[in-house]
Structure 1
Amino acid sequence: MTTPDYSDTHRLFLQALISRRLMTEDAAIQLYAHVSPFDQDDFTDFINTVNDSLSSVELEIRRAQDEATGDKIVALTNTNEQKIAQVATGYSPLELEYFKHLLDAIVMADDELYCISSTAAVNEASKLKNKENKSLQLTKAAAEDLLTRFVHDKWLIKSKTGALSLSTRTLLELQSFLKEAYEEQVQECTLCMEIITKGQRCNVAACAARLHQHCAKTYFENMNNPACPSCRSPWDGKTLIGLAPNVEAPHTIRRR
């Protein structure tokens, strides 16, 4: 199928996505359907055309699945993933340093929890240091405001119990950085091969199998006796990666 030329229709779609940064694929399709009868192949070509226009400014529309809900996501992402400062624009150097500090605490959380409590996150503000190992001044009140902003800007997710974890946006836009900086800590889903911070893991401690909840649901759907896709041991889905729903994160940060 021939890729269409970039038009006002593409511009309107992109403007809507810029304002939201990320939306469900269903919402993106509804937006597309307002200007053109929906067809899956046409929609894919439509996205490709927008991406062609974005390549020169290091932006790209990517499609993924939300770890927590399994919803298909369409997101506008920065393709220059190596440096956080070039992706998370709009923050001061001090604010970015705090974000990197939280990112480290979340990725390095003990027992593959991949989250920290809001209380622990605020307390971390007093531990910030510059390259010369001098303390940086960030008050707890400023830290609380920043956490609200990180959640609002979809860099972090805050659960009902106050646990902070990595968002779909962060996993998409910073995937190369995360894999390079945390090669030993970042895990991939055994089935879809995308980064996983929420899901299930094999009961066998030595086994590296990790599955997103939505991947596990599809994979085990027709199995009477679910077995690990890697080591074939029984799989009960009760051994988790990430924090169980409605459970509070530890109020102190414990790193692996």
Structure 2
Amino acid sequence: MIERSDQDGFTDFINQLNGGLNNVELEFRRAQDELNGTPVMALTNTNGQKIAQVATGYTPTELEYFKHLLDAIVMADDEMFCISSTAALHEAGRLKNKENKPLALTKREAENLLDRYIADQWFIRSKAGAYSLSMRTLLELQTYLKETYGDQIQECTLCMEIITKGQRCSVAACSSRLHQHCSSTYFRNMNNPKCPTCHTAWSSKVLIGLSDGASAPSKVRKRAARRENGAAGGEEDDAEGSGRNQDDA
């Protein structure tokens, strides 16, 4: 077991490192894995617009596809924060360069590139083939995500870290979102769990993201809310209804 003094000493050490790294736009960031609560740490770029410096080793076309997938996942309807393999391949046919001309990316190339993104740990692929954000992406692209998508990026009410998988309050207007591991800890000794924000009875069945065995919609439908950069959502075709819960999955 790690003593409290050791934890404090390690935190002080990381803070000192970050003080020296600020000048080169780098920072050590810590969080807990969304799926199991395991502590993770990453050296990250603090300049949100330098996504190309983070996702190194990709061609401009491959990086553009990466950004399309990121956009589709973050803006997925009903806070699903994932897209199906069919939808991911469909996005490959929507790529355009700065001159608004189509970029060539075959289905086979897109499939290989998706496998590469998974191997590089930028995305997670569920058993049912749904793509979602990895902890590497949430940590290394944290600044980019927050600056690009604004309040479309949700934070856990308890740990204040970005959340794309977990639980949410059953009251639509309530802002409470909890990671599974944060929820387990917070409600551990409560006979009648209540929302930490609005104090409504808490149901662990109202989800953010999809359970591992659930299938994402085959077509992308983006949320209608506007992002900070002014781009409108509500773009595509088909999605499952709102109010998803564990029983639906």
Q: Give the TM-score normalised by structure 2.
A: 0.81
Aligned residues with identical type, % of pairs:
69
**Distance in 2 separating the partners of 1:229 and 1:47:** 30
Structure with bigger gyration radius: 1
**Distance in 2 separating the partners of 1:188 and 1:82:** 21
**Distance in 1 separating the partners of 2:72 and 2:158:** 26
Contact 1:81/1:87 (8 A) holds in 2: no
Alignment-derived partner of residue 180 in structure 1? 147
**Distance in 2 separating the partners of 1:182 and 1:210:** 17
Higher helix share: 1
Amino acid at match of 1:198: K
User: What is the number of residues matched between the two proteins?
Assistant: 221
1:121-162 Cα deviation digits (max 9, x unpaired): 112111111222211111111111111111111111111111
Alignment of 1:33-112 (within 5 A): 39-41=6-8, 43-44=10-11, 47=14, 51=18, 54-55=21-22, 57-112=24-79
**Distance in 1 separating the partners of 2:11 and 2:75:** 37
**Distance in 1 separating the partners of 2:147 and 2:176:** 20
Change (3 A) 1:181 1:51: closer
Change (3 A) 1:82 1:236: same
Alignment-derived partner of residue 3 in structure 1? none
Alignment-derived partner of residue 202 in structure 1? 169
Quote the offset at 1:163 in angstroms. 0.9
**Distance in 2 separating the partners of 1:42 and 1:235:** 37
Unmatched 5+ residue regions in structure 2?
224-249
Quote the offset at 1:80 in angstroms. 2.5
Change (3 A) 1:44 1:185: closer
Alignment of 1:131-146 (within 5 A): 131-146=98-113
RMSD: 2.1
**Distance in 2 separating the partners of 1:171 and 1:81:** 12
Change (3 A) 1:175 1:128: same
Quote the offset at 1:93 in angstroms. 0.8
Unmatched 5+ residue regions in structure 1?
1-25, 30-37
Q: Secondary structure at the match of 2:150?
A: coil
Amino acid at match of 1:84: I
**Distance in 1 separating the partners of 2:15 and 2:172:** 42
Quick check: 185-194 or 71-80, which moved more? 71-80
Contact 1:188/1:194 (8 A) holds in 2: yes
**Distance in 2 separating the partners of 1:54 and 1:83:** 16
Amino acid at match of 1:211: L
**Distance in 1 separating the partners of 2:119 and 2:18:** 25
For the pair 1:192 / 2:159, whether they are aligned, the reply is yes
